[in-house]
Amino acid sequence: MIHMRQTIALFKFVVALLIFLGISAHAESPDPLADGREAQSWLKKIQSAAQKLNYSGTFVYQQANQMRTSRITHLLDGKNEVEKLEVLDGKPREYIRNNDEVICYVPETKTLLVEKRVTHDVFPAILAANPADLTEFYTVRKDETGRVAGYDCQAIILEPKDNLRYGYKLWAEKSTGLLLRAQTLNEKRDVVEQIAFTQIAIGNIDRNRAKPSFANTTGWRVENAVMSQVSLSGWTVKSLPPGFRKIREVKRMVSEASAPTMIASANGQPTQREVAQIVFSDGLAAISVFIEPGTQSRTEGSLQQGALNIVGKRQGDFWLTIVGEVPTAAIRQVANSIEFKSK
């Protein structure tokens, strides 16, 4: 009888303890709405930090089996942004940006390419939309903490709400919010693309780091990018993924210096051709439709490289190249719904 009373008392104690622990766990469990708001706040910090902080570091971009290393220095001088981007692998390239003017130094051909910046989503400034707008198409939440390039970071997850965009995992430096690593995730949550700082200094940056490495460019050829905003109203995409909207329409002359794979003319001189581009974005991912006269002999087809999907197709008298940081289903949906109506 004593043993029975002891057993019942122990059972009641265990039940009471489990109820207490359940109540405690429930009380301490995170509020999904509050967690979502905090995650959005982190996205705002990431967006602001890339534009307003001074920093200099080396980052590695990994796509499928390819890796590229670059060094970036970013300075804010009053209202003026100055940025230097050096490509450290392969043929040397150096980009100096003063606000929206970009000069590309191409030493092997002694060429300076001068153009206006048309995109504002270069790492670590990858967010182009209001973070609150992204929540319609992504579930945004905080994830684990960790270290990247020696800095303590908070990870943020963006899970897509459909199969027409990738997911993302972002690591923001805890003190400043600067983005130090970004991963692109497929539907299996496998990493299909990654970009991350391996070394970075934040704050007090020597301004000489943002100066061009080529002090004497006397005799270099200056090529101004002939690019203009245009209305390509004859072209429409009937079936865009939800949330994607047109953000830019431009025409530009493409030359050998800016497109090394371009075919040379019969006399060996680089040819130039006019290419139109329509860009769509959901604020995080982008899809571009490149349009040019279809005079060259090309083979239709598709290609996937890391997170990038590419489709090339002939449409009437034009050749279309559709490029996007989106899954195959999305790029095919866009490619199959492009229409042209001549005026």
3-state secondary structure of 341: coil
Residue 33 has a pLDDT of: 65
Instruction: Name residues whose C-beta falls within 8 Å of residue 285's C-beta, 6 or more positions apart in sequence.
Output: 165, 166, 324, 325, 326
Residue 4 has a pLDDT of: 41
Residue 197 has a pLDDT of: 98
Locus of tokens 């390509």: 232
Length of the chain: 343
Residue 314 has a pLDDT of: 93
Of 300, 295, 296, give the one whose Cα is nearest residue 335.
300
List the 245-254 sheet strands across, edge first: 227-229, 245-254, 273-281, 286-293, 318-324, 308-315, 301-305
Show pLDDT as tens, one digit a residue, over the chain (343 residues).
Answer: 444 444 444 444 433 433 333 433 443 445 666 777 899 999 999 999 999 999 999 999 998 788 999 999 999 988 899 999 999 999 999 999 999 899 999 999 999 999 887 666 689 998 877 888 899 999 999 999 999 999 999 999 999 999 999 999 999 999 999 999 999 999 999 999 999 999 999 999 999 999 999 989 999 999 887 777 778 888 999 999 999 999 989 888 776 444 433 333 334 445 667 899 999 999 899 999 999 987 777 889 999 988 999 999 999 889 999 999 999 999 999 999 999 987 6
Structure tokens at 290: 């490149």
Residue 28 has a pLDDT of: 41
Residue 13 has a pLDDT of: 42
Residue 297 has a pLDDT of: 77
Q: Would you say the pTM of this structure is higher than 0.95?
A: no
Rounded Cα distance, 106 and 94, in Å: 7
